[in-house]
Amino acid sequence: MTTAEGTGVSTGTAAGPVRFDTKIAVLLREDLETWQRLNVTAFLVSGLGTALPEVIGEPYEDADGVRYQSMFRQPVLVFEGTKETLTAAHARVLSRSLPRAVFTSDLFATGNDRDNRAAVRAVPTAGLDVVGLAVYGPRNAVDKVLKGARMHP
């Protein structure tokens, strides 16, 4: 098994799987409605993709030569947990200084980026009602942030 230089990606063999030493994860509060889970996940991962170019793969192209946008180079794992699990994960991701994106309950009442940012800015860190959190980093560090969460069904 070889590692692509500077990427942290084990390229495997032609027949073997590609393995990553990093993880992209989304943690959602378990009491969200289905539409909220989808919305929160989409918003959160967009934050990681725009801030961390190393998580983005190459553009796609079908057999007819039609091109498609690049996507993440690795899977996104989605977890769920209680409000307390989210609060603890938020504190851990901050203490570990890992790249993260946050979605608070206040954002369901806004309709644009400016108002979203103002809603987060208006609340002290400890008072944020976090309903979603995305994190990227070394697998072990991300696992520690997500302690107590379970895979989304």
**Mind listing the domains of the chain with CATH numbers?**
22-151 (3.40.1490.10)
The rounded mean pLDDT for the chain is 91
Q: What pLDDT digit, counting tens, does each position of 76-107 carry?
A: 999 999 999 999 999 999 999 999 999 999 99
pLDDT for the residue numbered 15: 65
Global pTM value: 0.87
Which pLDDT band holds residue 7 (cuts at 50, 70, 90)?
low
Mean pLDDT of 38-47: 95
Positive or negative, the CA dihedral 108, 109, 114, 118 is negative
Residue 1 has pLDDT above 50, yes or no: no
Per-residue buried b or exposed e for 14-53, using 16+ beta carbons within 10 Å of the residue's own CB? eeeeeebebbbbbbbbbebeeebbebbbebbbebbbeeee
